[in-house]
Chain A
Amino acid sequence: NAGVTQTPKFQVLKTGQSMTLQCAQDMNHEYMSWYRQDPGMGLRLIHYSVGAGITDQGEVPNGYNVSRSTTEDFPLRLLSAAPSQTSVYFCASSIYRGSTEAFFGQGTRLTVV
């Protein structure tokens, strides 16, 4: 049972490039979310999804897009990378509604130069 898998683990982008951070879970969880972690800022919610086909914005959604075509996958797209998006990104899933135990992936460390 792999849990929540994020790829890649590390990525360096040039300003203006686009890319997709992948997140997959094999626990049949309805609820998935993306957070970014920055020093002194804690975990800030970017986007979340309560089920396939349903997504909503979190606290810091600008510059990011998401879609949820399947229960298992919840990719995060950076449209035009900026240095301010340099961060560690975590994907999480939970059984329902995001309010029970959230299982986190190992994170993706992104650097935008």
Chain B
Amino acid sequence: QQQVKQSPQSLIVQKGGISIINCAYENTAFDYFPWYQQFPGKGPALLIAIRPDVSEKKEGRFTISFNKSAKQFSLHIMDSQPGDSATYFCAASVLSGNTPLVFGKGTRLSVIA
């Protein structure tokens, strides 16, 4: 049973465009929702994270939108650049729990000039 469902599996965006990746979760106990970015040959690295007490968090060109009632959250990359080409993973966890992060299956983003 997949606890975090991520879509799309792959995404091609023109330089300067907006990249949008969506995730949905089932476990209402989740209270921490990070996004990780992975470049080829590297380990994933934390990009941005949100708690459910806010509906949006912005860091530079990256924004997380969170809809608690729909149990969905999304990553928006504004003014996408070729350097943003990477695989993006959404994840979820219970901050007070013992279990590690649960990851989505990933989205491979390609930003073309």
Q: How far does the Cβ of B61 sit from chain A's closest Cβ, in whole Å?
A: 20
Q: Cβ of B44 and Cβ of A104 under 8 Å apart?
A: yes
Give how many A residues have a beta carbon under 8 Å from the other chain's beta carbons: 26
Also in contact, A50 and B98, with CB within 8 A (given A40-B9, A98-B93, A99-B32): yes
Per-residue contact bits, chain A 93-108, to B (CB 8 Å; 1 contact, 0 not): 0000111111011110
Residues on B with C-beta less than 8 A from A107 are: 41-43
Q: How far does the Cβ of A39 sit from chain B's closest Cβ, in whole Å?
A: 9
Would you list which residues of chain A between 29 and 49 have a CB under 8 Å from chain B? 31, 33, 35, 40-45, 48
Q: Cβ of B34 and Cβ of A101 under 8 Å apart?
A: yes
Also in contact, A42 and B89, with CB within 8 A (given A101-B34, A101-B46): yes
Q: How far does the Cβ of A40 sit from chain B's closest Cβ, in whole Å?
A: 6
- A58 to B3: give the CA distance in the assembly, Å: 13
Interface membership of A74, Cβ < 8 A: no
**B105 contacts which of A4, A40, A50, A105 (Cβ < 8 Å)?**
A40
Also in contact, A42 and B100, with CB within 8 A (given A98-B93, A104-B44): no
- A90 to B42: give the CA distance in the assembly, Å: 10
Per-residue contact bits, chain B 65-100, to A (CB 8 Å; 1 contact, 0 not): 000000000000000000000000100011111111
Cβ contacts A to B, 20 pairs, < 8 Å: A31-B100, A40-B105, A42-B103, A42-B104, A42-B106, A43-B44, A43-B103, A43-B106, A44-B103, A45-B102, A50-B98, A56-B98, A92-B100, A97-B97, A98-B93, A98-B98, A99-B101, A101-B34, A102-B44, A104-B43
| Chain A residues close to B by CB (< 8 Å) | 4, 31, 33, 35, 40-45, 48, 50, 56, 58, 90, 92, 97-102, 104-107
| Chain B residues close to A by CB (< 8 Å) | 6, 9, 32, 34, 36, 41-46, 49, 89, 93-106
Having A48-B100, A97-B96, one finds 10 other A-B pairs with CB under 8 Å, namely A35-B103, A41-B105, A43-B89, A48-B99, A58-B100, A90-B43, A98-B99, A98-B100, A102-B101, A107-B42
- Enumerate the 3 nearest inter-chain pairs by beta-carbon distance, A residue then B residue, closest first: A104-B43, A98-B100, A42-B105
